[in-house]
Amino acid sequence: MNKLYFKYGAMGSAKSANALMCKFNYEQKGFKVLLIKPSMDTRDLNENKKIVVKSRIGLQSECITFSNSDNIIDIYKQEKPDVIIMDECNMATPEHINQCKEISTHIPVLCYGLLTNFKTELFPASKRLVELAESLTEIKSVCKCGKKATINARFCNDEICTDGEEFVIGGDEGLVRYEGLCYSCYKKLVDEKNKKELEN
Element (DSSP H or E) covering residue 54 = strand 52-54
- Nearest residue to 62 via CA among 98, 92, 87, 90: 87
Tell me if residue 88 is catalytic: yes
* Annotated active-site residue in 47, 88, 102, 192: 88
DSSP structural state of residue 148: B
Vertex 17, ends 108 and 76: CA angle to 5°?
30
CA distance 31 to 121: 36
CB neighbours of residue 181 within 10 Å? 25
The residues carrying an active-site annotation are: 88
